[in-house]
Structure formats: C-alpha cells, structure tokens
Amino acid sequence: MSMIMWDDAYSVEIQEIDEQHKCLIEIMNELYTALANKSNRDLVGDVLDKLVDYTKVHFAVEETLMRIFHYDEYEEHKAIHDRIVKRVLEYQGQFRAGNDKVGMELLMFLKDWLFDHINKVDKRYVKTFHKHGVKKNWLKRFW
Ligand SMILES: [Fe+2]
C-alpha cells in the first residue's frame, strides 16, 4: 500500500465535508507512516485512536445534517456508518489486545471503503443539502 491521495473527483461540492474527508485521509496517512516506519506501539496506538475518534466525529456531523434536513435516506446511511464504526472498533480492540497486524488491515479496509462510500453514498445527500441552502464554500476554517 502507498500513501492515500485526495482527488477532486471525490468532492461532494460542500467544502466543509470535503475538508473532513481530507482530514480523514491525512490521519490515515499518518497511520500509514507510523506503520511503515515501524514506530513504537504507543505511537501507532495513538494515531489509530485518533483515526477512530475522527471517523466518529465526521459521521456524527453528516448524520446531524441529514437529520436537520429530514434526508429521506437517513436510516440507510446511518446504518452503513454504524456498521463501519463497529468494524473499526473491532480493529481497535484487536490492536489493544496485542495484535500488531491490525493497523495495516484497518488502513486497507478504510481506504477501500472511504472512496467508494463518498462516491456511492455521500454524494446522494448533496442535492438535499444544497436545496436547503448549504453553501458549497466555507468562509474560513473553523476547526
Ligand atoms: Fe457518509
């Protein structure tokens, strides 16, 4: 595996969400670098925790917007997120239990999942969000 690259083809045309997706990629690359450099276990564990936490935060943001706008595919989308979080927590649990190999497995899993999810699932809510006045560009970075 190599570093993960963002491509504008993955844009959902809402900058705030694009930036969160880029942030996810950044943390995934951080994990990749930590694993490739055979960094110590604590450091790998810290990055892995960060990735798990940020994934949850990002999902919560998307789900909140979907609820606010009464998005009609909310239940399906939420169920997909829940499945991913469950898998990611399983990987985290295995790592904490002493399995060092799961870091790379988690990374491959998330990499395969992320771009597919953005294109096939996330892009479906864009029309609804835009219709309700969500702007394509943000004014500035707030976080
Ligand atoms: Fe999503």
pLDDT tens digit string along 35-67? 999 999 999 999 999 999 999 999 999 999 999
Query: What spacing in Å lies between the alpha carbon of 87 and ligand 1's midpoint?
Result: 15
Decide if 132 contacts 69 (C-beta within 8 A): yes
Calculate how far, in angstroms, residue 96's C-alpha sits from the geometric centre of ligand 1.
26
- List of domains in the chain: 14-131 (1.20.120.50)
Alpha-carbon Rg for the chain, nearest whole angstrom, is 16
pTM (whole model) above 0.85: yes
Write out 54-85 in H/E/C secondary structure: HHHHHHHHHHHHHHHCCCCCHHHHHHHHHHHH
pLDDT exceeds 90 at position 1 = no
Q: pLDDT value at position 36? A: 93
- Ligand 1 centre to CA of 77 (Å) is 7
